[in-house]
Amino acid sequence: MKGYLTVFLALSLSIMTGFILLFTGNAIRNAGKVRLECAVDTGMNAVLSEFQVTLLERYDLVYVDVSYLGFQPSVKNMEGRLQYYMEENTSAVLEHENGPWGNLKVENVSITSFETAAAKMGASMRSQAVCYIEDTDIGGKEREVLQYMDEIRNLDAQNPMNKWQMIMEQLAGMELPKIQNEEGLWEEVPLSNPADWVFGLAGSDVFYLTEVNLQSVSPARISLQDYISHRHIENTSTIREDFKADENMFLSYLFDKMGYFNNPKENTLLSCQLEYIAKGKSSDLENLRAVSEQLFRWRFADNVSSALSDGNLKSQAASAAEQLLAVSLNGEFKTPVVESILYACAFLESVRDVWTIYTGGAVPIRKETHHMSVDYVLGGNLYHTEGGSGFSYEQYLAAMILLLDEKKQNLRAMDIMEMDIRFIDSNKYFSMDWCIERFEAVVTCKGGYGDEYLLNRKYGYF
């Protein structure tokens, strides 16, 4: 009887030992899975902790720059960082003398998909910018522009200079009247149009006419092809549809983070950054000139409209035209001469408007009153007067930016960001289309008992 009991106990013990070993093995395997999950979570968070510091400090945008301050940007760089953190939290820990049971060896780390600041042609960057404005509630007078954009588009569609050119060409093509001189010879009577000297200024630089001081403008000249709006853009794909794109908030973000004429930021390649967004030229001077020309064209269009509809001003112009001998001899000259004088009045008023705007004053989009007088045309002088209420330079600049489509706004804003980060960090490889916001990784590991583990994770800031 005792023999049977001994055999039973031995068999029971062996079976129980088998179960214990099986449970222990499963526990070790499950512990390996848990360790792997923790290591992957820790590793991906660690990778995201290596965000581009200057980009955050300068623009309050959170991205991982996979050039890592000196390398050619590549997702391989990010995979290498993730693998390093994985190994530090798996094999490096488990192989210690007093480490827990089980081994984990990272065999492969692959980032299968990722989204960058250039996702959907800059929608990711724009969304973060809008979130920043939502959180800080920053906003200024630039937001007032949006309600006037229909008027701005109407002015932008006009080209009064072409119409004035046609009037002057019409006058030049008309046959001048002739009178007989004291010697009995017939000679042409010159028109002596008082608008001629003003028309002669039409091709002049606006800065010359308005005497704008350009000493503070950066002399730097950029190679446009080096920046995202002109080079081949990579990594624009995304499956997200929840990007924020509010026009007002993004405009406030641009004015908060970027410099412009008379309000430059420090440590920048271009000082007139918002002018670059509006015009996209390769230097501050070119961008300022393009802005001033568009500004002058808007003011000229509004002033021409006022001049042509002002009965008193038209009477002044008609009186001046009638004093011309050529007009008195040939009445066909009167109408185009009167019109040319009115355009000249509007031109001089526009020079005054632009001068006012550049010296810190304000001019309405559509003026109800003006300073135009034929006396200024007859006197041969430019004139300056104090500005009143209306749009400031910053608001006119905001209107020019709002005329751009969303894609141009995004890409040119990212151009500026690339300029600044490369300039500040001396990192020539920094690229916004290689700044990662979220990514998906697949990690494979092998356990100490030949077990293979596969884990897929998605992590990101937003």
Comparing C-alpha atoms, which of 416, 458, 411 is closest to residue 433? 411
Q: Which two tokens stand for residue 142?
A: 């630039």
The C-alpha atoms of residue 58 and residue 247 are separated, in whole angstroms, by 21
Residue 430 has φ and ψ, to the nearest 5°, of: -60, 130
Write down the pLDDT at residue 389.
Answer: 84
Q: Which two tokens stand for residue 119?
A: 């996702």
Residue-wise pLDDT tens for the chain (462 aa)? 555 556 666 666 766 765 555 555 555 555 557 777 888 899 999 999 999 999 999 999 999 999 998 899 999 999 999 999 988 888 765 555 554 555 778 889 999 999 999 999 999 999 999 999 999 999 889 999 999 999 999 999 999 999 999 999 999 999 998 887 777 788 888 999 999 999 999 988 898 898 888 888 888 899 999 999 999 999 999 988 889 999 999 999 999 999 999 899 999 999 999 999 999 999 999 999 999 999 999 999 999 999 999 999 999 999 999 999 999 999 999 999 999 999 999 999 999 999 999 999 999 999 988 989 999 999 988 888 776 789 999 999 999 999 999 999 999 999 999 999 999 999 999 999 999 999 999 999 887 666 788 889 999 997
Selecting from 3.40.630, 3.30.1300, 1.20.1300, 3.40.50, what CATH number does the domain 27-121+431-460 have?
A: 3.30.1300
Beta bridge partners of residue 283, listed in sequence order: 221
List where CATH 3.30.1300 sits in the chain.
Answer: 27-121+431-460
Model's pTM, two decimal places?
0.88
The C-alpha atoms of residue 392 and residue 415 are separated, in whole angstroms, by 26
Q: C-alpha angle 459/461/462, rounded to 5°?
A: 100
Write down the pLDDT at residue 158.
Answer: 94
